[in-house]
Copies of this chain bind each other. A is one copy, B any other.
Amino acid sequence: MRGIADSVGIKGASLYNHFSSKEEILYAIALKMTRVPVEEHLLVLDEAGTPAERLTSLVDVHLRHLAVNRVEHLVSLRELSALTEEHRERVVEYRKYYQRRVRDVIAAGIRAGEFGVDDPLRAAVAVLDLMNGVSWWLRDDYDIDALVATYVDFIVDGILRHRSGVRGGAGEVTG
């Protein structure tokens, strides 16, 4: 609490005029980093376009939100275990719902012939891990447009893309 207070220029005790406990601060941060993506980012999945186009939009807004709230994202990960069971469950529920929606758009892309992965849920987990990993090393002076372009390529044209058949998959050739 003293560290948080320092960073906003007041004393530790003064924080209790704004929050009733440390857990409430951590919950507010964790909620912001899970509810906002669910209630705002997922809207792009309902707009017009192919699954690949809609997922591209989601990667865009997801990475930009993460770039702006990098520290909050790391805190919500690290301090998840410090939340009450009830609060932790709500945060986990938001994360799971977001994951399911990513899985669903990947599944739609498979049905539409745009994507070529076997298991939409596994692919969704990989895609989210790849994006969220950015928060560990991103710096303030990083070119976010370039970041988004690179990761859209890695995800939409890389992980999810149809394999061209020459090597067809993971060990099928040799196995």
Residues of A within 8 A of B (CB): 49-50, 52-53, 56, 78, 109, 113-115, 118-119, 122-123, 125-126, 128-130, 132-134, 136-137, 148-154, 156-164, 167-171, 174-175
B158 touching A161 by the CB < 8 A rule? Answer: yes
Q: Which of B56, B125, B134, B158 contacts A171 (CB 8 A)?
A: B56
B129 touching A129 by the CB < 8 A rule? Answer: yes
Q: Which of B157, B159, B171 contacts A167 (CB 8 A)?
A: B157
Number of identical monomers bound together in the oligomeric complex: 2
Closest to A164 in B: B164
Contacts of A128 in B (CB 8 A): 133
Q: Which of B157, B162, B170 contacts A153 (CB 8 A)?
A: B170
B129 touching A157 by the CB < 8 A rule? Answer: no
* A109–B152 CA distance with the chains assembled, in angstroms: 21
Distance (whole angstroms) from the CB of A113 to the closest CB of chain B: 8
Distance (whole angstroms) from the CB of A145 to the closest CB of chain B: 9
Specify the main secondary structure of chain A where it touches its partner: helix
Q: Which of B49, B137, B160 contacts A174 (CB 8 A)?
A: B49
Q: Which of B50, B52, B126 contacts A154 (CB 8 A)?
A: B126
Distance (whole angstroms) from the CB of A117 to the closest CB of chain B: 8
Closest to A162 in B: B168
A129 touching B122 by the CB < 8 A rule? Answer: no
Q: Given A78-B78, A126-B151, A151-B126, check contact A156 B132 (CB 8 Å).
A: no
Pairs A-B, 6 closest by C-beta atoms: A129-B133, A149-B170, A153-B170, A114-B169, A158-B159, A156-B170
* A78–B77 CA distance with the chains assembled, in angstroms: 10
